[in-house]
Every structure is written in structure tokens, then in C-alpha cells.
A and B are shown apart, each in its own frame.
Chain A
Amino acid sequence: MADQEIILTNASVEVDDETVTVEGNSIAIKEGQGESTTKAASNGGNIVVVTSEDITTKIGMVKFEMPASVNSMNLARDFKARGAGRVVRVSGLDPAGNRLGRTLTQGVMTNDPEKAIQSEGKVEVTFEGAPLAAS
């Protein structure tokens, strides 16, 4: 087993097969495997653990920020206008050559981002859809 692991800090984001310019340290994903709850119950005086899966949380998510250039602002507007049915891919290689690849299908841009027209401005974009698939 490797005695050192290096965190992946740069990845590629594609929306509908087009690469997107993203701010550093801004990409975040949620696999959409869902949340589970546990509670204790009594069975004849014995304590049993009851678990349940909340299927309403099985939502995949890809979130990132774009520099607030005019191009990015228009792109974010375009993403929103396209509505549902987007495919978003995130992929990257760490320095050791380990690959991360995730694909969000049935995606829709859920947020309505504030677009700051200023130095260092950013446009935050969030896509949600089916649980992420490894790719």
C-alpha cells in the first residue's frame, strides 16, 4: 500500500460534451448514494437497531464556480435555459496517476446564480440529477 496519497486538486468539467472553465478549488460532487437513518427499537425488551434509507436523498450533484467573464455568464444562462436533460462529467488525474471519473445524467441546473460584475467575480453553478456513475 502506498505510504503517501496526494489530494486531487484539478479536474475537468464537461457539460454536454463541452469543457467549462472552472475556478480552482471550487469543484464539489455529491455521489447521490442517499442518506440512511438509524434508530433503536425494542423487541421483547431487547434493543434492536432499525435502519432506513431515505430514497429522496438519492440525488447526484456537481457544483463548481466559473470566473465571471461575459462568456461564463452567458454560458451559465445557456445551461439554465437548456433545462433538464444535461450530462455533466467530472474527471481528473492525481499526480500518482489515479483517475477520478464521475458522470451526472438527467441533470438540471438547479440554482439561479448571482453574477457579480467585479474583479475576481465568480458564477456558481449547481447541477443535480441522477446518482453519479463512475466513468
Chain B
Amino acid sequence: METLTFELSTPIKYSPGTGAEIDGTHIEVSPPNGKIAHLIGTLKAEIMQATKTSLDGIDLSSLEGKQVEKDNGDEDDEYGEFAFTALTMGGADMKKVFVTFKEIMKSSALMGGEKPFTEPMWNRMDYPDVERCLKEYIGNFMKA
């Protein structure tokens, strides 16, 4: 699995250590490893449980790896969209989902590709970026 580069629609300021603040426009997220296996497991369990509740009978494996092209030309991962829909419709504990995802980001993401991602950076992210980042993460790293 390759590193996921997530482009922020709303840049967030961070300090790269030069004494000034700069606008961070992207986040690089490393693929999951053993260090965060417990967090991946938690997130995956929420997805599977919610999927079972909301969409019982649908074969998830049929969606793996499928890409769709939207009208605006952006590629999006159908599995990420599907999983997020399942989470929200399937009665998942969304607080648990986002707190878990925040911890994943803090353990495996670099702001601007250079500075470890921290809680204040998470707090400054726009919600649409948070949701889109979660979908892309699920789509890229959690299909298996």
C-alpha cells in the first residue's frame, strides 16, 4: 500500500519549526501498521457491524477496488463512500469512529508531509475535510 496524499479543501495553519506559520494544503497518511492495529480493528468492527445492521445481504467484496468518476472529474473511492454511508445509517457510534480516526491520524499522518499530525491540527480541520479524509482512508486502506 502506498502513502495516501490527502488534499485539504481548506488549508490549515501549522508551524514547521521555522518560527512562522504556513498554510498546510495536504496531509500525507501512511498505510496502517502493527502500531495502530488496535485502532484499525476498532474502525473495521464499527464498519462491519453497521453494514450488517443497515445493509444486510449486500456482498462488500463486490465493491472492493471499484473506482467511480464523478461529474466534476474527481475520482472517489466507492468503498469509502459506501462504508461511510453504512456507518451513518447503520447506527454506528460515530463519536467512537471519529475519535478512533483522529488517533489513527495522530499516529500515521504528516502535515505537509513534514510535521507530525497533532490534536490541534485535527481541531482546526474543517468538518467536510475530516469526513472526506475518513472516506479516503477507508477506501484506500481498509478494503481488505
Contact = CB atoms under 8 A, between A and B. Distances in A.
Instruction: Tell me if chain B binds chain A.
Output: yes
Interface of A: 12, 14, 16-19, 82, 84-87, 89, 103, 105-107, 129, 135
A14 B8 CA distance: 22
A73 to B, nearest CB: 21
B120 A129 contact: no
Nearest to A82: B17
Contact of A86 (B13, B19, B111, B121): B19
Interface in B96-132: 111, 115, 118-121
Residue with the greatest number of chain B CB neighbours at <10 A, chosen from A18, A19, A87, A105: A87
Nearest to A85: B19
25 contacts: A12-B120, A16-B15, A17-B115, A17-B118, A17-B120, A17-B121, A18-B118, A18-B119, A19-B118, A82-B17, A84-B19, A85-B17, A85-B18, A85-B19, A86-B15, A87-B20, A87-B21, A89-B120, A105-B15, A105-B19, A105-B20, A105-B21, A106-B20, A107-B19, A129-B19
B82 interface: no
Given A18-B120, A135-B13, 4 more contacts: A14-B120, A17-B121, A87-B19, A105-B19
B6 interface: no
Contacts of A18: 118-120
Interface of B: 13-15, 17-21, 111, 115, 118-121
Contacts of B21: 87, 103, 105
A64 B83 CA distance: 44
Contacts of A14: 120
Given A17-B14, A17-B115, A106 B120 contact: no
